[in-house]
Amino acid sequence: MLKGLWSAPSFTYHGKYYDIVDTKLSPKPVQRPNPILYAGGESDKGKDLITSHCDAYVMHGGTVDEIDAKIQDMTNRRAQKGLPPLQSYGMAAYVICRDTEEEANIELARITDVKMGSAYDSFDDFVSKSELEQKLQLYDYSVSNRGLRPNLIGTPDQIAARILQYEETGLDLLLLQCSPQLEEMERFAKQVMPLVEKKRAAMAQA
């Protein structure tokens, strides 16, 4: 329905939940054929909807192998429908960047020192009622969207190398999490991003 409103001068749609007749939307988006539609989901029904109607797939954090399998699955689903590959794949990831691996692990231990209690009472209910591809532990629940699973934790060099491993799977978007946000994002921009570019260039020349 949205794509119709974005593209047609006048649009009519009769569906299960929406019924619109000769509806006009203006101004139209400047992006062509439409703004990139990002969506995420792990159920078969959700993946089918994303495969059919969206342009990009965003995922919870996962290991390199987990993300590679998800991207391959969505690529195959698109091909089976006769559609081109999705434009983008994104992943949530929590970053802990420190000068030494020991310092990074100390911070990791601090933020994952969680115990069942009022703040985590919903954990069992969430796990039991969700269609999840991976079994979660309370550790994974200590930050949102399974952000610790990518393991972007360590020195700038270690994190940059791991990011390039994800790039090789087809991942091209990181939804970064960190705390405190300003200080950690500045650290990532100054210490990690230049290394990613440097390593990428070196790999291209090899």
Cα distance between residue 114 and residue 116, in whole Å? 7
Query: 55 versus 113: which is more confidently predicted?
Result: 55
How far, in Å, are 14, 15, 18, 131 from residue 140 at the CA level? 42, 39, 38, 16
- Which range is least confidently modeled, 28-32, 141-145, 166-170? 141-145
Phi–psi pair at 43, nearest 5 degrees: -75, 155
For 68-99, the DSSP string reads HHHHHHHHHHHHHTT-PPPSEEEEEEEEEE-S
pLDDT for res 122:
56
Q: How far apart are CA 95 and CA 159, in angstroms?
A: 8
Q: How sure is the predictor about 2, in pLDDT bands with cuts at 50, 70 and 90? A: confident
Per residue in 30-60, pLDDT (tens digit) is 998 889 999 999 999 999 999 999 999 999 9
Q: pLDDT digits over 54-102, tens only?
A: 999 999 999 999 999 999 999 999 999 999 999 999 999 999 999 999 9
Question: Could you tell me the two tokens for 54?
Answer: 């969206």
Contacts of 73 (CB under 8 A, 6+ apart): 47
Q: Which CATH superfamily is domain 36-205 in?
A: Luciferase-like domain (3.20.20.30)
β-partners of residue 19 are 14
- Token pair recorded at residue 84: 């081109």
Are the beta carbons of 39 and 51 closer than 8 angstroms? no
Q: What is the pLDDT of residue 111?
A: 87
So where are the chain's domains?
Answer: 36-205
